[in-house]
């Protein structure tokens, strides 16, 4: 989860400003998760290759592969959330 922007208010002025994360910070946050997912999906590919004979003899196991494929959708989901958040905050 990404922390909300920091809100700084001055009591005399009653004006508040939000501090958005920099591009580098946002990239670092996203890259950490995406690299982690890439490693996990690579590991799952190696596991599937190792157990190919088992999958051929027991095809019901293939139904559980949808959970693995769903992890790939996280990359697109993160990008969508970032754009929607930017639109809501007026930064895009």
Per-residue pLDDT averaged across 3-32, rounded?
Answer: 68
For residues 84 and 14, which has the higher predicted lDDT (pLDDT)?
A: 84
In this prediction, residue 13 carries a pLDDT of 53
pTM (predicted TM-score): 0.44
In this prediction, residue 40 carries a pLDDT of 83
Q: pLDDT digits over 20-71, tens only?
A: 778 888 888 888 888 888 888 888 788 888 988 988 898 887 777 777 667 6
CA distance 75 to 25: 17
In this prediction, residue 38 carries a pLDDT of 86
* Length in residues, the chain: 92
- Helix axes of 73-89 and 23-50: crossing angle, nearest 10 degrees: 160
């Amino acid at each position: 989860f990404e922390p909300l922007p920091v809100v700084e208010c001055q009591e005399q002025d009653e004006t508040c400003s939000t501090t958005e994360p920099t591009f580098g910070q946002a990239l670092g946050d996203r890259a950490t998760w995406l690299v982690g997912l890439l490693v996990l999906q690579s590991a799952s590919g190696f596991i599937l290759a190792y157990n190919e004979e088992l999958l051929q003899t027991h095809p019901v196991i293939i139904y559980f592969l949808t959970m693995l494929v769903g992890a790939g959708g996280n990359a697109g989901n993160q990008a969508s959330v970032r754009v929607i958040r930017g639109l809501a905050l007026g930064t895009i």
